[in-house]
């Protein structure tokens, strides 16, 4: 495991490396960001760096500690993989039962708790007691999608590190250079990944079906703009059945409208859905110039996340699309 093998998050990697070099290690860290951003990978590499006996900016991958870490068999590494909907007090107690024991081999023990936002109040309070009197040879790393879901008293005792979306170009280069993906497939995957590397990898590997969903959504979009308002009632069932994927559907629509706009302005080289260029050309003839439809779709997505009436939001969105593409 190496920092250089993780795409993006350069500021975070530099900060972690420098903290080790300077001996400025915190007793508690919170790695915050959406799933698939590399939080778990960097937590494990950071742990390996702390155990490595010949660290110099990267784990050496030669010493006994690195060899054991590469097989995840280091006795001073404690990882909680929680599949249940909640992390109970007993789960935390089991993980932390080694906290006040001496490390077996390394100078420190590292505890990684994935999906830390799943901790019940009792579990969080049990964990908090350890943070209030942290042993000097233990490092706690909490992985979470949202730091606001953790107890404020836990957050105040940890160093929070926010993982950012990775640039499209960085993801594309990773897919081409590390995975051997073709340029066009890498371009599509990077564009539809929303800055999440693991999502892009899954798209390329066929584990994420968003590119197939893309064709269905764009086909539906084509029907909507070519029909009258009555079609809204015909397609309502699709949006209701796919309510849990509406964010993904809106992203596909936004990317498609972006492509159509580029075609309308004779900027075909910038479009993402190159395999659907002919349809984009057809739709561009309908698109009103200087439309704010992309910003409107983003506001619809935000409103739905804020629990605004779902059906009303969708109906208004479809009417707006028809208005702009007439």
pLDDT of residue 150: 92
pTM over 0.85: no
pLDDT of residue 36: 83
The closest alpha carbon to 118, from 153, 90, 82, 93, belongs to 82
Helix (H) / strand (E) element for 14: namely helix 10-21
Whole-number Å distance between alpha carbons of 110 and 72: 12
Q: 288-294: long-range contacts (C-beta < 8 A, 24 or more apart)?
A: 288/324, 288/325, 288/326, 289/264, 291/261, 291/324, 293/257, 293/320, 293/321, 293/324, 294/254, 294/257, 294/258, 294/261
pLDDT of residue 82: 63
Q: What is the CATH number of domain 3-162?
A: 3.40.50.300
The DSSP result for 240-304, as a single string, is: HHTGGGHHHHHHHHHHHHHHHHHHHTT-GGG-S-GGGHHHHHHHHTTPPTT--HHHHHHHHHHHH
Estimate the share of the chain in helix, then strand, then coil, as percent rounded to the nearest 5: 60, 10, 35
Residue numbers of the chain with a pLDDT score lower than 70: 82-84
219-233 pLDDT tens trace = 999 999 998 888 888
The full set of domain ranges for the chain reads 3-162, 209-324
236-283 pLDDT tens trace = 889 999 998 898 899 999 999 999 999 999 998 888 898 899 999 999
């Amino acid at each position: 495991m190496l920092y250089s093998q993780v795409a993006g998050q350069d500021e975070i990697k530099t900060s972690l490396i420098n903290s080790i070099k300077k001996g400025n290690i915190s007793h508690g860290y919170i790695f915050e960001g959406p799933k698939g951003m590399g939080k778990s990978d960097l937590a494990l590499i950071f742990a390996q760096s702390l155990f490595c006996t010949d660290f110099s900016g990267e784990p050496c991958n030669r010493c006994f500690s690195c060899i054991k870490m590469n097989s995840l068999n280091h006795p001073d590494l404690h990882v909680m993989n929680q599949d249940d909907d909640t992390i109970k007090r007993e789960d935390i107690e089991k993980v932390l039962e080694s906290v006040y024991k001496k490390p077996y081999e390394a100078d420190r023990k590292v505890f990684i708790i994935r999906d830390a936002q799943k901790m019940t109040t009792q579990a969080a309070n049990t964990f908090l007691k350890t943070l209030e009197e942290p042993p000097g040879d233990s490092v706690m790393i909490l992985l979470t999608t949202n730091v606001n879901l953790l107890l404020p008293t836990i957050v105040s005792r940890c160093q929070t590190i926010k993982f950012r979306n990775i640039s499209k170009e960085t993801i594309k280069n990773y897919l081409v250079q590390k995975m051997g993906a073709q340029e066009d497939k890498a371009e599509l995957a990077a564009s539809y990944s929303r800055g999440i590397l693991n999502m892009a990898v899954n798209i390329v590997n066929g584990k994420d079906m968003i590119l197939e969903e893309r064709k269905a959504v764009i086909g539906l979009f084509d029907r909507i703009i070519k029909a009258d308002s009555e079609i809204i009632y015909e397609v309502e069932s699709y949006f209701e059945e796919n309510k849990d994927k509406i964010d993904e559907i809106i992203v596909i629509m936004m990317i498609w409208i972006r492509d159509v706009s580029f075609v309308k302005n004779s900027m075909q080289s910038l479009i993402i859905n190159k395999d659907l260029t002919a349809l984009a050309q057809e739709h561009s003839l309908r698109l009103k110039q200087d439309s704010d439809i992309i910003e409107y779709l983003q506001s619809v997505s935000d409103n739905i996340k804020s629990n605004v009436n779902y059906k009303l939001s969708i109906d208004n969105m479809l009417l707006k699309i028809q208005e702009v593409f007439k």
